Amino acid sequence: KAGVTQTPRYLIKTRGQQVTLSCSPISGHRSVSWYQQTPGQGLQFLFEYFSETQRNKGNFPGRFSGRQFSNSRSEMNVSTLELGDSALYLCASSYDGQGATYEQYFGPGTRLTVT
């Protein structure tokens, strides 16, 4: 099976702009989670989508949003970018059906730099 894919791999944006990141999960996985990784804060959970619904949300401001499509692909959006939003954004997918053991499989990430 193909792994989790994320596009784009690298982005450079200016403060105040908005950005959209895309994630395609492993085939058959309906749960998609997003994480932010920074040197100072480590890995932090942003939100999780399952069957096109946000099921869990981390402690991030409303500028961070996401959605999931009927084919389980997911996008996350960050509006009004701040310098502190510079990070590696990781998407992970998991199988959430009968017998699930909750392991998540990660994509390569999108490196966002805000200048």
Partner 1 sequence: AQSVTQLGSHVSVSEGALVLLRCNYSSSVPPYLFWYVQYPNQGLQLLLKYTSAATLVKGINGFEAEFKKSETSFHLTKPSAHMSDAAEYFCAVISNAGNMLTFGGGTRLMVKP
Using CB under 8 A as the binding criterion, the count of chain residues that bind partner 1 stands at 27
**Nearest distance from residue 16's CB to partner 1, in Å?**
27
Our CA angle for 1, 96, 78, nearest 5°, is: 85
Positions 19 through 78 that interact with partner 1 (CB under 8 A): 31, 33, 35, 42-43, 45, 48, 50, 55-56, 58
Backbone angles phi, psi at 34, to 5 degrees: -120, 140
Could you tell me how far CA 13 lies from the centroid of its own chain?
17
Q: Which of 114, 107, 110, 98 is nearest to 9 (CA)?
A: 110
Among 22, 65, 86, 104, binds partner 1 (CB under 8 A): 104
Q: Does 85 bind partner 1 (CB under 8 A)?
A: no
Closer to partner 1 by Cβ: residue 19 or 109 = 109
Q: Which of 50, 106, 98 is nearest to 74 (CA)?
A: 50
Report which DSSP code applies to 25.
Answer: P
Residue 86's CB: how many other CB atoms inside 10 A? 16
**Nearest distance from residue 99's CB to partner 1, in Å?**
10
Binding-site ranges for partner 1 (CB under 8 A): 4, 6, 31, 33, 35, 42-43, 45, 48, 50, 55-56, 58, 90, 92, 94, 96, 101-109, 111
